[in-house]
Amino acid sequence: DAAGVEPEPISAQSQSVSGSECDRIQDQSWPGPAAAHEPETPDRTGTRTSRTHSEMEMPGRLQPPPPPPPPPQRSGTMKRRRWGGLRQQWKLLGLFEIDQQHEFYGLTCRMKEGLAAAIHTSTHTPPVNDLSDDDFRSKVTQVHKDFSLETFGGPVFAALRASLGITEDEYLQSLCSESCYLQFISNSKSKADFFLTNDKRFFLKTQNKREIKFLLSNLKIYVEHLRKFPHSLLVKFLGVHRIRIPPGRKKYFIVMQSVFYPDERINARSGSVLVPVGYDIKGCQVSRWTDPAPEGSQIIVVLKDLNFEGQFITLERQRSWLVQQVEIDTGFLERLNVLDYSLLLAHQPLHHDERNQNLSFASLIVRTKKSVNPGSSPIHAEVPGAVMNDDAGPSPEPDSGLTSSRDPDDSTRTSPRPAGSDADSPDDFRTQNRRLLPNLKNPLHVIDGPEQRYFIGIIDVFTVYGLKKRLEHLWKSLRHHGRSFSTVSPQEYSRRLQHWVQNHTD
């Protein structure tokens, strides 16, 4: 079963035949025009055999061994092992449509059905302006024919989606359309399964119970961070769910906004390449090189720190904004005692019409409204309880354009305004480190420089610096003496990534 549940035994009379099984049967039962059989004759042992005319004409020819018996019906586990073996053997990397022959087809169909019902519920419940503690603890279970889906913190994520400008109808259409999901397979060491909606707007990623518990326990301060810094580069979580499939299978998964969306221009500019060349940056050296894919190949390889050496993120006046926002976001993760997160980075040349559009007066008006309207960026709903009041960041450089030096005491003036109100005051604008956003559907992760469009986000924020990571740090310190590696304290990790951004931007 594609959902990971062991299938029930199927009788030989009713057993369905897969594509590979059809090929095997066809090879055995279609001899071709030169292999017409004559009547069977007994051999010396009394066994009746048949020979083709071509075999009779060449009596000295060695005969091939008899075909092997048909293989037994593969279980779901054997099917997964076979797919995993082929994937390892062929080094498959890229996007693959999850069609009816795919191992995850059944699982993704159930995900779509469950998400459709969950989103339908939130569609008829307007997002709340004041989130309560009960909203953060909310858990709703919806039972379907052969599975159930649990939704955690539904009102919170519905409010977050609304603040990002994602309507429930858009969310439903993308996640639950008739088009198949795509499976994303990369050279990442993660054991999670990655699915991408067919329009490539949202990622669905399986998570373990510990990671989900960590996210939900810190959901309130995550939302508060996005409220205080609406243009944060942190990955945007849009939903947390658990699917249960009898008799006892269950999977946790999250829905995230893709950093690499939209990609229409990427497809047009890059031929067969489906997504931009991406870099996974951790700010260290050990194991931070990946062999690039062959030129012209459709294989998707996520490159690393050492692959980026010699290049720069050229933003000019927006450089100081990026440096400051990375410091703010990594400082937040440091306080959560988190490490091993990545700065996901990609870039593509700006198209001629995109450069002109960014300079037009009409575009500037739209971008300014998008940048200052509380309803256009997360999150303007009140969050219960005062949390994380020490988020004041460093002063930006003089050439930042829209941002200027900040007073640490200004953090008390970040209370949100209702959607549809007038633009925030200049003090709020500076304190929240806002910037002039591009007029795109995913503006928070897109930064346009003079020549390049950059896609930037901070992802993989679930690794806590506990006992296991402390022991790993000790072991790597002995093995890689004098070299930088990923497993260090959260303080060192955030400081190192900040320095990487400072040293690779201009």
Q: What is the 3-state secondary structure (H, E, C) of 436-494?
A: CCCCCCCHHHEEECCCEEEEEEEECCCEECCHHHHHHHHHHHHHCCCCCCCCCCHHHHH
- Answer whether residue 339 shows pLDDT above 90: yes
Ranked by mean pLDDT, which of 182-186, 360-364, 457-461 comes out on top?
457-461
Report the C-alpha gap between 423 and 429 in whole angstroms. Answer: 9
First to last CA, the chain: 52
How far from the centroid of its chain's Cα atoms is residue 497's Cα? Answer: 21
Ranked by mean pLDDT, which of 160-169, 187-196, 207-216, 283-292 comes out on top?
207-216
Domains 89-258 and 272-356+441-505 agree in fold? no
pLDDT band per the 50, 70, 90 thresholds, residue 244: very high
- Mean pLDDT within 105-134: 90
pLDDT band per the 50, 70, 90 thresholds, residue 24: very low
Report the C-alpha gap between 413 and 494 in whole angstroms. Answer: 26
Q: What percent of the chain has pLDDT over 70?
A: 63
The predicted structure's pLDDT at residue 237: 98
Its sign, for the CA torsion 322, 327, 330, 333, is negative
The tokens for 368 are 């300014």
Rama region for 94: left / alpha / beta (φ>0; ψ in -120 to 50; rest):
left
The tokens for 149 are 């889906």
Report the C-alpha gap between 259 and 500 in whole angstroms. Answer: 20
Contact 333, 494 (CB under 8 A): yes
Contacts of 497 (CB under 8 A, 6+ apart): 281, 282, 283, 326, 330, 343
Preceding amide of 379 cis, omega within 30: yes
pLDDT band per the 50, 70, 90 thresholds, residue 356: low
- Mean pLDDT within 456-463: 96
The predicted structure's pLDDT at residue 97: 92
Torsion of CA 333, 339, 341, 343, to 10 degrees: 70
Contact 187, 193 (CB under 8 A): no
Report the C-alpha gap between 347 and 278 in whole angstroms. Answer: 8
- Answer whether residue 131 shows pLDDT above 90: yes
The predicted structure's pLDDT at residue 111: 97
Report the C-alpha gap between 223 and 225 in whole angstroms. Answer: 5
Query: Domain map of the chain by residue range?
Result: 89-258, 272-356+441-505
DSSP state of 41: E
The predicted structure's pLDDT at residue 352: 76
The predicted structure's pLDDT at residue 298: 64
The predicted structure's pLDDT at residue 251: 96
How far from the centroid of its chain's Cα atoms is residue 104's Cα? Answer: 16
Contact 334, 493 (CB under 8 A): yes
- Answer whether residue 52 shows pLDDT above 50: no
The predicted structure's pLDDT at residue 113: 97
Q: What ranges make up the beta strands (E) of 246-297?
A: 249-257, 278-281
Report the C-alpha gap between 370 and 366 in whole angstroms. Answer: 6
CATH of domain 272-356+441-505: 3.30.810.10
Partners of 67 in the beta sheet?
A: none
Q: Could you read off the pLDDT of 298-332 as tens digits, one per residue?
A: 667 789 999 999 999 999 999 999 999 999 999 99
- Mean pLDDT within 392-404: 41
3-state secondary structure of 377: coil
The predicted structure's pLDDT at residue 302: 85
Neighbours of 257 (CB within 10 A): 21
Report the C-alpha gap between 309 and 132 in whole angstroms. Answer: 47
Task: Assign domain 89-258 to a CATH class.
Answer: alpha beta
